[in-house]
Amino acid sequence: MRVAFVAMETSWHDDGPATRRLERVARLLADRGHEVTVFCGQWWDDYDDEMVVDGVRYRAVTLGTAASSFFTRLPVLLARYRPDVVHTRPTPSNQVVAAYTGSKLARSPLAVEWYGTETVDEDDRGVRWAATKSARVVTPSEFVRTNVRELGATDDSTCVIPESIDFDAIEDADPAEEVDVVYAHPLDESANMDDLLLGLAELREREWSATVIGDGPLRGEYEDEVAKLRIDDRVEFVGACDRARCLEIYRGAHAFVQTAYREMFATELLWALACGCVGIVEYQTESSAHELIENYERSYRVTDPKGVADAIVDAGEFEQLTVDEFWRAYDHEAVIEDYLEAYRNIQ
């Protein structure tokens, strides 16, 4: 299959989760032997208009990210490439219009990857095109899918394909020292770590240990709060960690607590569950995290710090695991098949 990805800004310009997700799909398709080209603003320093990285061909539409030139040139380049599918993101909005025009010239269907973190203007023509004119809108969760339907998309034109994980990496990681609770999220305004800390404080008379993965502007405030709650001798802040270190910590932990206010897809929760952690998720109206554990036995859904505390205690009833085969359905190899099926359904 020949797939054209349209991303004026790649991860070399913007290393956000939505950008990484689109490029990960491109790499996984290339690994499977499909012909993949990303039409983008040039990010490499030479005179060639193409660059191949990890089997993916990056085709420069413009030098840098000159928006007006990019949107003008893109349709013709797509028509010449004649892909089986054109795949893009909903922002910037003119990117969608240009990709749609190019897909029509190439007689190819348009798929839009809607992660949920995009800043969109509901009155913007491009946003409406993305939601209503695309052959398929792919979202990482039902939560995001609902938001897209509110913009005019339908049940038939949308589908949920979750984030994917690397099971080989999990099995290769050496479990770290055992810890009862692990939390992972950037320590920013959406972290809502207070509810976890209050829950831990309720268990002050019990034996437990906790590890916090993540850094951010509120780290100092959370460290001060831990001290005020008199649990600083049992809560360790380890800062931001690379994937390998996270997996080691998850494999040594018994429970993962998710309290963040906003998650389009709870990626760290998924990694932790696959590493054998019991999942404890505090319900939040702007988070999809609860979707992951709806049909999973080793989990608890709670609504407040008291519920967090009770779930941490009850989690002790489950055996310690360092890998859970239940989550192999989210391995890269399995999830990329979902994308291929979505492509076949719109051709």
Residues 49-61 have a mean pLDDT of 92
CA distance 324 to 178: 17
- pLDDT-based confidence at 123, cuts 50/70/90? low
Cβ atoms within 10 Å of 344's Cβ, excluding its own: 11
Regarding pTM above 0.75, the answer is yes
Q: What is the Cβ-side half-sphere exposure of residue 131, based on CA atoms within 13 angstroms?
A: 22
Tens digit of each residue's pLDDT (9 = 90 or more) over 77-97: 999 999 999 999 998 888 999
Helix, coil or strand: residue 49: coil
Does 34 have pLDDT greater than 90?
A: yes
Q: Go through the domains of the chain in sequence order and give each one's CATH number.
A: 2-164+332-346 (3.40.50.2000), 167-328 (3.40.50.2000)
pLDDT at 311 over 80: yes
Return the H-helix or E-strand segment holding 60: strand 56-63
Distance CA 30, CA 307 (A): 45
The contacts of residue 285 (CB under 8 Å, 6+ apart) are none
pLDDT score recorded for residue 16: 86
